[in-house]
Structure 1
Amino acid sequence: MLLDGRNAIVYGAAGQVGTALATAFAREGARVHLVGRTGKTLGEVADRVRADGGLAETAVLDALDEAAVDEHADAVAASWGSVDISVNVIGIEDAQGTPLAEMSLEDFERPIRIATRSTFLTTRAAARHMIRQRSGVILTFGGDGGGEPIRDYAIGGLQVALNAVDFLRRQLAAELGAYGVRVLALHTGGITEGLPEDFAAREAITDMIVGKTMLKRAATFADVGNVAVFAASDLARSMTATSLNITAGAVTN
């Protein structure tokens, strides 16, 4: 197993991406520490992991709560010996469909504040243990990695938030590399299977995402889980400060 014996903390583990990551990590032998704000949904993911023979622990906390994030990471390290993988995929409550010129400051700021604060707090909590261990992998998620604005759809502060997280990821890699800690991004350009059936802009967004790809399909949640396992494993031990392109050819690099 590629991740045998490792401890992986997944923030936002009950969401679609979080579930894909958690189940993939567990499948490859990691003990997954499922973090979120709702115990019931976390328990459902944990039950799924355990039913498949995996190891799962749950913790109810808010990834925006500095003290709670630090205390949980410390508890994982104290109880299980290490923090080996950390990934934050909490929802960032973005407001889409309204042009920036018509958007309220609150709606614009919200995704930026949530994304940068939660990413900073969760990565800092993990990094303190990874520095001591001289090893570890921090993963970020979201966007396409191309750094281009969205031309055909009003996306609010989301793109700004994702690019802020991407720069934070590169700075973390520069500072943590000397300690053997790797920091990588997972970029999909959007996962269409996660769009609600009753979402008014579902067809337009699907066409926009798929239309940019070379493979004429979007990445799936399973794709994300598989690539994340590779990124967190020793197979990728020489990779840091870069992104893994899961955009099906929407972005070339």
Structure 2
Amino acid sequence: MNLFGKVAVIYGGAGSIGGAIAEAFVAAGAEVHLAGRTEATLRAKAGQLGARYAVVDATDEQAVDEHAATFERIDISVNAITDNDVQGTPMVEMSVEDYLSPVVTSVRARFLTSRAAARHMIRQKSGVILFFGGTGDASAHRRWQLGGLLAAFDAVESMRRQLAAELGQHGIRVVTLQTGGIPESVPAEHREPIETDIVGETLLGRAATLEDVGRTATFVASDWGRTITGSQVNITCGSVLD
């Protein structure tokens, strides 16, 4: 599979998930553009990969639209921004602002970036919009004290289904990479207990890696994944069953 000739924009491209997808896309031959809010990390990641970058706040409507307008075409749009979530606090002790923060951030950012990309893709009669997160019947233990994160994931999945239904007639696919947690994306000082929890919930006795994320994203975005739209691609190693 390859992405030669494809133009990919990755929001949150300097983060661990976005960076892994960017690395895989570059290896597959795509022209990759990283977007995010922190120039230093964007510059470093872009230099490492030989990609291009722009400072863009994915929750800023004008910034997203102006950035998208600089492209002649967009073939792949990936939104891997973090959701500004507060975890580890019981809901009954949370403020409404903390609970709603990931919902508002996630929905707003993914709506704006998807809309901007779709306007290009409709003219082209092709394109792939890719999200990261997903939902499913995870165990009660894994749902413990996650704040508004799962509500945000549910809202984005509703958006994904609606986008796929509206955009399919234009040859545009909309897909979510469904995660059960990627231990490598967790800061090293907090990783061990979280990795134990994530791996313990899987059927395979291991968690997906950042390399797995990049490879799956490349497959989905390529012509090899051309039959997949309106759905989640499950990379949970069995912690969530379809």
Q: TM-score, normalised by structure 1?
A: 0.91
Alpha-carbon distance, 1:252 to partner = 2.1
Q: CA RMSD in A?
A: 1.4
Which residue is equivalent to 1:53? Answer: none
Which residue is equivalent to 1:224? Answer: 213
Moved >2 Å (runs of 4+): 147-153, 202-208
Q: Is the CA contact (8 Å cut-off) linking 1:170 and 1:242 kept in structure 2?
A: yes
Could you tell me how far apart the structure 1 residues matched to 2:104 and 2:165 are? 23
Which residue is equivalent to 1:61? Answer: 56
Secondary structure at 1:128's aligned position in 2?
Answer: helix
Q: Deviations over 1:73-129 (max 9, x none)?
A: 11122xxxx100001111111100001111111110110000000000000000011
Tell me the amino acid that sits aligned with residue 69 of structure 1: V
User: Structure 2: any 5+ residue segments left out of the alignment?
Assistant: none
The answer to whether structure 1 residue 189 and structure 2 residue 180 are counterparts is yes
Which residue is equivalent to 2:203? Answer: 214
Q: Deviations over 1:14-51 (max 9, x none)?
A: 1000110111111111101110111111111111112x
Q: Is the CA contact (8 Å cut-off) linking 2:138 and 2:240 kept in structure 1?
A: no
Alpha-carbon distance, 1:219 to partner = 0.5
Which residue is equivalent to 2:35? Answer: 35
For 1:110-121, what aligned pairs fall within 5 Å after superposition? 110-121=101-112
Could you tell me how far apart the structure 1 residues matched to 2:52 and 2:8 are? 10
Which residue is equivalent to 1:245? Answer: 234
User: Structure 1: any 5+ residue segments left out of the alignment?
Assistant: 51-55
Q: Is the CA contact (8 Å cut-off) linking 1:149 and 1:159 kept in structure 2?
A: no
Secondary structure at 2:141's aligned position in 1?
Answer: coil
Structure 1 residues 150 and 157: alpha-carbon distance in aligned structure 2, compared to 1, 3 A threshold: farther
Q: Deviations over 1:195-235 (max 9, x none)?
A: 22323xx4443233111111111111110000000000000
Tell me the amino acid that sits aligned with residue 76 of structure 1: F
Could you tell me how far apart the structure 1 residues matched to 2:196 and 2:166 are? 39
Secondary structure at 2:232's aligned position in 1?
Answer: strand
Q: Is the CA contact (8 Å cut-off) linking 2:138 and 2:239 kept in structure 1?
A: no
Q: Is the CA contact (8 Å cut-off) linking 2:74 and 2:117 kept in structure 1?
A: yes
Could you tell me how far apart the structure 1 residues matched to 2:70 and 2:34 are? 13
For 1:41-80, what aligned pairs fall within 5 Å after superposition? 41-50=41-50, 56-77=51-72
How many positions carry a matched residue from both structures?
A: 241
Q: TM-score, normalised by structure 2?
A: 0.96
Tell me the amino acid that sits aligned with residue 146 of structure 1: G
Q: Is the CA contact (8 Å cut-off) linking 1:147 and 1:163 kept in structure 2?
A: no
Could you tell me how far apart the structure 2 residues matched to 1:94 and 1:210 are? 22
Secondary structure at 2:69's aligned position in 1?
Answer: helix
Q: Is the CA contact (8 Å cut-off) linking 1:142 and 1:187 kept in structure 2?
A: yes
Could you tell me how far apart the structure 2 residues matched to 1:181 and 1:85 are? 10
Q: Is the CA contact (8 Å cut-off) linking 1:64 and 1:114 kept in structure 2?
A: yes
Alpha-carbon distance, 1:151 to partner = 3.4
Could you tell me how far apart the structure 2 residues matched to 1:112 and 1:165 are? 9
